[in-house]
Structure 1
Amino acid sequence: MIDTSTIDATAREARGSDFARLSRRVTDAGLLDRRPGYYALRFGIVAALLAGGWAAFLALGDSWAQLLVAAFLAVVFAQVALVAHDLAHRQVSRSRRFSQAAGWLAGNLIIGMSYGWWMDKHTRHHANPNHEDHDPDVSPEVLVWSHKQAATSRGVARIIGRWQAFLFFPLLTLEGLNLHLASFRALRRPRLKHRGLEATLLTAHVVTYLGAVFAVLPLGKGLLFVAVHQAIFGVYLGCTFAPNHKGMPTLTGEDRLDFLRRQVLTSRDVRGGPAVDIALGGLNYQIEHHLFPSMPTPNLRRAQPLVRAYCAELGIPYHETGLISSYTQALRHMHAVGASIRAGGAAGAASARRQT
């Protein structure tokens, strides 16, 4: 549960209009205007890198140097995923049809991740970030994110939860595979629209991807190529999204926060300059992105001073940290959450020894 005691009392009385006033300032500054030139350049660079990576793969042939290509393509795949993210939020174009078609191309066909499934999941996350009951990104299926979840954890989550801070990055090596499997599982859901098209594009990705790998590489090297590629892809994506909310306060049904506070208090920004902006696809401005999901990526940096100053006016804590510190905070939180599981296990073992 989030502690709202530090929020200014006067601001709390005016919650209904707080975000509206900020939105007007952002709109007046032109920060919600489309940036077609930026996205044309970004799409062009990512497409060139993708084509160059596969060209290098074909040119190298049966070589152990292909593992370097696998690592390179993993980074490019993650950048394609970040492009799909921007498309889903209509940062690139206000057209639903264009955004959806481009999202299917980038998500389903190029990287093998269901655009429709991910968009549904991510929309629910944005509506209720870090909410234990409504945010699918803090579902305690494998990891636990709060003391309440730790207390009620069962099965895999309870086993892993004991030492989840140490297992977090190793588990991310499986995230790429998990995204592919989750995409295919989602095809069974009636509420997923355009299931036939999504299934066709996902299948085309798998057939083309595996066909290319094993047409060029023998079985052993091919399997190792896939393993390296998918592992680094998963770690990169996990490292892109983990700094944003992990270790920040979680919400429950007892918390009653307006939109502005719900988004700001559960998110953190990550500073680091242009290199971090590129590596994280602009998601290091997570507070601004959650407040204005359709804001084009290059405008997030410009919006940050405005949002930070506005939060200061209202007495709302605005959290920003460095990249390494963001991971440290997330891991410390995960380790602290797992303490009750470790204590329970130790108590159980001690009880068993006394009985013997």
Structure 2
Amino acid sequence: MSSNTRDRLDRPTTPEAARLARLPRDRPVARDYSVLAKLVRDSGLHRRRYAYYWTRLIATVAAFALVWAGVVLLGDTWWQLLLAAALAVVLAQLAFLGHDSSHRQIFRSHRWNDWTGRILANVFVGVSHMWWTAKHDAHHAAPNQETRDPDISPGVIAFTPAIMASRTGWRGRLARRQGWFFFPLLTLEGLNLHVASVRTVLGRRPVVHRGVEVPVLLTRLVLNVAVLAILLPPAIAGTFLAVQLGLFGVLLGGAFAPNHKGMPIVPADADVDFLRRQVLMSRNIRGNVVVDFVMGGLNRQIEHHLFPSMPRPSLRLVQPLVREYCSTLGVTYTEVGFFQSYRIVVGYLNDVEHRARDPFGCPLAAQLGR
């Protein structure tokens, strides 16, 4: 925490912050976020970071082109699998940029952000921009809340005690050891993203810009397979695709999973104020530039959930202010190490029916009770 930031919190300079310092502990909590938002707005950290994003966009698209050029030049050899891994890394970085664009972090113009996200998702990554944005927006609106957050909805993995209770017989026995299967299952997440995208754009539900997404998305997916089949022998082509999809799924799932899994599960009928909804249900991951790169900046999940339109590089700068502000309110701010976060996820998934209630239920109830 810098001395300037600490001074701003210890000696608030805005009327809202000054009033907060005088409020009793049993004060209404509805305005807590607006006070923090005012402090952050005054800091200027919401300003666009065009040099950062243009550099990343150009470099990542260039890397995408270089990988495919390498595939053409390398030809019939199992060394192609190194390029498959490289392609998975590049696609994950393009997906992170698409995520930032969908949150309107890159440009001031909503239209520029929307179309940048649509191009990155459909043309490069092979995922429906509309489907992913709708799903992700629902998650941000109610993280870890039953029936509202699609990221904890019933599926292969049981994320809540209610879902666990519905698993009986062999499915129940597997669910009680599902943490050990979680990361192997992530190797299928890349394929799952493609399948869900195709089902959505070809389905009956309304799709914004369906006329664009359907031909572009399908062309991208077909071309990816066709080019490999033309350039490489069947065995190498199939293995290339498996490595690329598997690693891509692990990279994306590994970036999103530790941010909320093992944090409080919110009942469907709970009414939680915005600041606590975002902070108490999110977990930050400590790290360095390597962690920032691998996780696409999502390791600062608390700050991202509080300020989803804030440019990625500014999250690091606003973090000390948010952490100190949460401390003044007595709101638990969770941050753990990179490897510890995955141990927490595995442990939680292996004991969902108890872990979802015990370690986090009491602190959550105590803080909401204020």
Give me the TM-score of the superposition, normalised by structure 1: 0.90
Deviation, 1:13, is 2.4
Q: Secondary structure at the match of 1:225?
A: helix
* 1:71–1:228 Cα contact (<8 Å) kept: yes
- Going from structure 1 to structure 2, the CA distance change for 1:159 and 1:171 (only over 3 Å counts) comes to farther
Which residue is equivalent to 1:256? Answer: 271
* 2:146–2:266 Cα contact (<8 Å) kept: yes
Which residue is equivalent to 2:101? Answer: 87
Deviation, 1:153, is 3.3
Structure 1 portions without partners, runs of 5+: 1-8, 341-356
Deviation, 1:133, is 1.1
Deviation, 1:162, is 2.7
Q: Secondary structure at the match of 2:198?
A: helix
Residue 46 (1) aligns with residue 60 (2): yes
Equivalent positions of 1:330-341 (< 5 A) are 330-337=345-352
Which residue is equivalent to 2:254? Answer: 239
- What CA distance in whole angstroms lies between the structure 1 residues aligned with 2:210 and 2:169? 32
Deviation, 1:245, is 0.4
- What CA distance in whole angstroms lies between the structure 2 residues aligned with 1:43 and 1:156? 47
Which residue is equivalent to 2:321? Answer: 306
Equivalent positions of 1:65-76 (< 5 A) are 65-76=79-90
Which residue is equivalent to 1:265? Answer: 280
Deviation, 1:111, is 1.2
Which residue is equivalent to 1:276? Answer: 291
Deviation, 1:156, is 9.2
- What CA distance in whole angstroms lies between the structure 2 residues aligned with 1:328 and 1:304? 24
* 1:140–1:157 Cα contact (<8 Å) kept: no
TM-align CA RMSD: 1.7
Pairing partner for 1:196 from 208, 211, 219:
211
Equivalent positions of 1:13-28 (< 5 A) are 13-28=27-42
Equivalent positions of 1:171-210 (< 5 A) are 171-187=185-201, 188-210=203-225
Q: Secondary structure at the match of 2:30?
A: helix
Pairing partner for 2:310 from 286, 289, 295:
295
- Going from structure 1 to structure 2, the CA distance change for 1:338 and 1:212 (only over 3 Å counts) comes to farther
Q: Secondary structure at the match of 2:327?
A: helix
The one-letter amino acid of 2:70's match is A
- What CA distance in whole angstroms lies between the structure 2 residues aligned with 1:248 and 1:336? 13
Deviation, 1:25, is 0.5
User: When the two structures are aligned, how many residues end up with a matched partner?
Assistant: 332
* 1:138–1:145 Cα contact (<8 Å) kept: yes
Structure 2 portions without partners, runs of 5+: 1-22, 356-370
Larger mean CA deviation between 321-330 and 160-169 belongs to 160-169
Deviations 1:47-70 (A, max 9, x none): 121111111111101110001110
- What CA distance in whole angstroms lies between the structure 2 residues aligned with 1:173 and 1:113? 16
Equivalent positions of 1:3-18 (< 5 A) are 10=24, 13-18=27-32
Q: Secondary structure at the match of 2:77?
A: coil
- Going from structure 1 to structure 2, the CA distance change for 1:232 and 1:193 (only over 3 Å counts) comes to same
Which residue is equivalent to 1:102? Answer: 116
Which residue is equivalent to 1:321? Answer: 336
Q: Secondary structure at the match of 2:332?
A: coil
- Going from structure 1 to structure 2, the CA distance change for 1:167 and 1:70 (only over 3 Å counts) comes to same
Deviation, 1:97, is 1.4
* 1:144–1:338 Cα contact (<8 Å) kept: no
- What CA distance in whole angstroms lies between the structure 2 residues aligned with 1:10 and 1:157? 50
- What CA distance in whole angstroms lies between the structure 2 residues aligned with 1:10 and 1:210? 63
Identity within the alignment, %: 46
The one-letter amino acid of 1:331's match is V
* 1:174–1:231 Cα contact (<8 Å) kept: yes
Larger mean CA deviation between 228-237 and 98-107 belongs to 98-107
Deviations 1:85-112 (A, max 9, x none): 0000000013221112111211011111
Which residue is equivalent to 1:346? Answer: none
The one-letter amino acid of 1:214's match is A
Q: Secondary structure at the match of 1:15?
A: coil
Pairing partner for 2:234 from 187, 195, 219:
219
Deviation, 1:211, is 1.7
* 2:198–2:218 Cα contact (<8 Å) kept: no
- What CA distance in whole angstroms lies between the structure 1 residues aligned with 2:91 and 2:275? 33
Give me the TM-score of the superposition, normalised by structure 2: 0.86
